Structure 1
Amino acid sequence: MDFTLDETRQDIAGLTSGLLSREVDFERPAGARGYDEQVWHALGKAGLLSLALPEDLGGDGLGIGEIATVLTELGRAAAPVPALTLALGLLPLDRLGTPDQRAWLLPDVATGDALVTAALNEPSAPLTTEPKTRAVAENGSWLLTGVKTQVPYASAATRVLVPAAVPGGVGVFLVDPHAEGVTVTETSLRLDGVFVSEADQLQGVDALGTMHRFAVAGAVALGDGALAGALALTKEHIGTREQFGRPLATFQAVAQQIADVYIASRTVHLAALSAVWRLSSGLDPEPDLGIAAYWFAEEAPKALAICHHLHGGLGVDVTYPLHRYYALIKELSAWISN
């Protein structure tokens, strides 16, 4: 099977990579919302946040495959932006949102002016299919009560997609993280009788399953790029750093270790591409999605440990970018595997 990117995705990858090389400045402090808003708005201005939107909302009518390409490049650059929200918020809102919800939120998400994320994890219950958070009907509206954990950019979000148990199943609701009854603590969300209207409920069959598939596919695509970026950085280092008058790369032990990182990276890449391709083609993405998630969570942190080892003390220098890849991979692997 040929997993070479088609011309459209090659163009998207090139556009994203070029923009990030110009815009990312790691010396620029994060904005008030916890990320580099300048880079995020630049991505929006370039049309990279609106790829999956339908044409009537100013998008290109593309999907998870093209968004995954953007995510991979964001990971490759370790860009300090809320990348995962594209899979957690934008894609499920576009798929499951009502016409009014989509028209209200998606154009601002596409420009970078609004942020939508999702609360898929609960205490001791990651990616739960049976949320303990409950939605109780009251006078034509809903009251939500429960606790969500590991909610990326919860405090910066315009809305959070919150799955909750409803009579007969699971509903997904748009919740304002600053509404009365909502307490945000870092990446945790506590809901105490939070009022949401009927207009805040998303529609669609298997809404929670759709959100889970988009979330995991987006995470492995982002992680694929991060691992590739760390590999490239380490290859450059051992190719130019000398010991005993020779580049580190010429030592057999070093060559064997970087080969292990390469194998891990290429395997994650293949598994992520396969899972995303099946998902974008309307096919069942399992077991490919599970394999990609498992391999990334199991092998990527080990590969980063090797990268750190090959860098020596430089790897933990705050002025050197390797620690950014380590932090991103650690966060993603914990999120996927928990």
Structure 2
Amino acid sequence: MHFGLSEEQQMIVDTVRSFVENEIYPYEDEVEKTGEVPKAVGQTIMEKTKELGFYACNFPESVGGAGLNHLEFALVERELGRGSMALTHFFGRPQNILMACKHGQIERYLLPAVRGEKMDALAMTEPDAGSDVRSMKCSAVRDGGDWVLNGAKHFISGAEHADFVIVFVATGEEDTPRGPKKRITTFLVDRGTPGFTIREGYRSVSHRGYKNMVLEFDDCRLPDAQVLGEVDGGFAVMNTWLYATRITVAAMSVGRARRCFDYALNYSATRKQFGQHIGKFQGVSFQLADMLTEIDAADYLTLASAWRLDEGLAANREIASAKLYATEMLARVTDTTLQIHGGMGLMSDYPIERFWRDARVERIWDGTSEIQRHIISRDLLRPLGA
């Protein structure tokens, strides 16, 4: 196995990092203070991303994307992780699940999303269901040849900008040895569809400006043409396209941890106490050593899981391990960086307290740490019949 980056992969890293430093960093303070991304700023980031040729870089060249493989895309996300999520959202990585589009959906949703003419959002989480997808109450029933959707979704990232939303809803039940379970279908729902409302969600301490929205469906009528994949085939669509999104969370956590570590390292080399730089104290220097070791470990674990996907190897457990370790590593790194900065670490004059706050959500979304541990342990025990 080769652990180094190719010349092309290193160019990807250098290009995206430069973009984040020059096009994202300058706006972070404003977004942090206002909780909003000015429309003109978001549009500028989108246009510059297109000029670079990186918009929808996670899509194959056959539909107009850059055709990056999973490993290369993880490198992109790692560098984007250094910047504000509210701003890097406009770098443009539509949901890969749109590759399940068929017939008229390709021209109506897939290709406009890849070209940056339309933005999408993914809606799965519900107030009473959370990580238990089978418990969702948002449902769709047949009526006169159409589907009628009712219910609500929350914590929906990016929905304020979305032209359409990819929604998972219950469309019936099936009997299983463990009792009845919901059948799930995926729908494409356009903003402005009668009976469909997008409204402001909750105020979060993590990722200011990167909003979560509430979606409400009140007798929202959709034709069969809006079904993504097959009726009752939502899990098949989900398992084919979505589980690799955990790599994104892991990769972005690594990128953010490296940026945070740079602050800790530079501060330790310049801040003086008791007549010497604080990095000279073993209590600080050993913390730096531990931080970097953990970051490197999370980095290799994440890239290895992406590599397995590219090689066509089973990767569910490895992806879960990467997501689990990288997000919990980020929590430790941000907390230690804040500790090294002392009281100033908590002040808004420095970005440290922002990194600390932002890190908290990573252990929750895209599958909590507990869900990842369940995936890992299940993968270990099932072959033994346990």
CA apart distance, 1:241: 1.7
1:55 & 1:263 partners in 2: Cα distance?
A: 37
Structure 1 residue runs of 5 or longer lacking an equivalent are: none
| Counterpart residue type for residue 293 of structure 1 | K
Asked whether the equivalents of residues 121 and 151 of structure 1 are also in contact (C-alpha less than 8 Å), the reply is yes
The 1:74/1:136 distance shift into structure 2, 3 A limit, reads same
| Counterpart residue type for residue 337 of structure 1 | T
Q: What corresponds to 1:46 in structure 2? A: 52
Asked whether the equivalents of residues 119 and 161 of structure 1 are also in contact (C-alpha less than 8 Å), the reply is yes
Q: What corresponds to 1:141 in structure 2? A: 146
Q: What corresponds to 1:242 in structure 2? A: 272
Q: What corresponds to 1:67 in structure 2? A: 73
User: Which one of 194, 203, 210 corresponds to residue 180 of structure 1?
Assistant: 194
1:173 & 1:124 partners in 2: Cα distance?
A: 20
User: Which one of 305, 314, 322 corresponds to residue 284 of structure 1?
Assistant: 314
Write out per-residue CA displacement over residues 98-154 of structure 1, whole angstroms, 9 at most, x where no aligned residue: 253333334443454432121232235334442332221223322222332321122
Write out per-residue CA displacement over residues 313-334 of structure 1, whole angstroms, 9 at most, x where no aligned residue: 3323324232343343222222
CA apart distance, 1:308: 0.8
CA apart distance, 1:28: 4.6
Write out per-residue CA displacement over residues 23-56 of structure 1, whole angstroms, 9 at most, x where no aligned residue: 1212455435698442233223211123233334
Write out per-residue CA displacement over residues 153-172 of structure 1, whole angstroms, 9 at most, x where no aligned residue: 22221222111122463211
Structure 2 residue runs of 5 or longer lacking an equivalent are: 175-182, 202-211, 370-386
User: Which one of 315, 330, 335 corresponds to residue 305 of structure 1?
Assistant: 335
Asked whether the equivalents of residues 244 and 319 of structure 2 are also in contact (C-alpha less than 8 Å), the reply is no
CA apart distance, 1:86: 5.9
Asked whether the equivalents of residues 82 and 256 of structure 2 are also in contact (C-alpha less than 8 Å), the reply is yes
Q: In the comparison of the two structures, how many residue pairs are matched?
A: 336
User: Which one of 165, 170, 173 corresponds to residue 170 of structure 2?
Assistant: 165
The 1:235/1:44 distance shift into structure 2, 3 A limit, reads same
State the TM-score, normalizing by the size of structure 1.
0.87
The 1:28/1:96 distance shift into structure 2, 3 A limit, reads same
The 1:319/1:203 distance shift into structure 2, 3 A limit, reads same
Asked whether the equivalents of residues 49 and 109 of structure 1 are also in contact (C-alpha less than 8 Å), the reply is no
Flag the structure with larger Rg: 2
Q: What corresponds to 1:207 in structure 2? A: 237
1:62 & 1:56 partners in 2: Cα distance?
A: 12
Q: State the secondary structure of the residue aligned to 1:161.
A: strand
CA apart distance, 1:289: 1.2
Q: State the secondary structure of the residue aligned to 1:136.
A: strand
Asked whether the equivalents of residues 155 and 177 of structure 1 are also in contact (C-alpha less than 8 Å), the reply is no
Q: What corresponds to 2:159 in structure 1? A: 154
Asked whether the equivalents of residues 95 and 122 of structure 2 are also in contact (C-alpha less than 8 Å), the reply is no
Q: What corresponds to 1:120 in structure 2? A: 124
Q: What corresponds to 2:204 in structure 1? A: none
Write out per-residue CA displacement over residues 181-239 of structure 1, whole angstroms, 9 at most, x where no aligned residue: 33433223232222222222212771022343132122112222111221122212212
Instruction: Note if 1:329 corresponds to 2:359.
Output: yes
1:281 & 1:34 partners in 2: Cα distance?
A: 41
The 1:265/1:47 distance shift into structure 2, 3 A limit, reads same
Asked whether the equivalents of residues 65 and 280 of structure 1 are also in contact (C-alpha less than 8 Å), the reply is yes
Asked whether the equivalents of residues 108 and 114 of structure 1 are also in contact (C-alpha less than 8 Å), the reply is yes
The 1:278/1:223 distance shift into structure 2, 3 A limit, reads same
2:320 & 2:47 partners in 1: Cα distance?
A: 33
1:323 & 1:259 partners in 2: Cα distance?
A: 21
Instruction: Note if 1:196 corresponds to 2:222.
Output: yes
Asked whether the equivalents of residues 260 and 303 of structure 1 are also in contact (C-alpha less than 8 Å), the reply is no
CA apart distance, 1:73: 0.6
Asked whether the equivalents of residues 250 and 327 of structure 2 are also in contact (C-alpha less than 8 Å), the reply is no
CA apart distance, 1:177: 4.4
Q: State the secondary structure of the residue aligned to 2:49.
A: helix
